[in-house]
Amino acid sequence: MRPRCSHAAGWTHPAPGEARCRTCGVTRFTEYGAVRPPGLPHALTPKPRDARKADRAAALQIARLPRRRVWWGLAPVA
């Protein structure tokens, strides 16, 4: 069990984006980059025109599906 600490002694900054209590040694991260390991790829988002193009292609694919008079879940079992 950890003793209660009010962190009144202040914080040291051993690395960018990281702060450590001088009394109890608890570490707190002050920036998101401190918890992200180096070497991970950056997130890529598609351009808006590409996203619209993909949405239209998906809608066209659904529109081309054959129409069924009976829903799968409501069909009588043979």
Report field, pTM of the whole predicted structure over 0.85: no
Contacts of 54 (CB under 8 A, 6+ apart): 46
Q: Is 7 left (phi over 0), alpha (psi -120 to 50) or beta?
A: left
Give the structural domain span for 14.
Answer: 9-37
* Residue-level pLDDT, tens digit, the chain, 78 residues: 556 888 889 999 988 878 999 988 888 887 765 556 667 777 777 888 998 999 999 999 888 877 666 566 665 655
Contacts of 31 (CB under 8 A, 6+ apart): 16, 17
Is 18 inside a domain boundary?
A: yes
- Could you tell me which of 27, 7, 26, 9 has the C-alpha nearest to residue 17? 27
Is 73 inside a domain boundary?
A: no
- Could you tell me which of 6, 14, 12 has the C-alpha nearest to residue 34? 14
Is 66 inside a domain boundary?
A: no
Residue-wise pLDDT tens digits, 28-46? 887 765 556 667 777 777 8
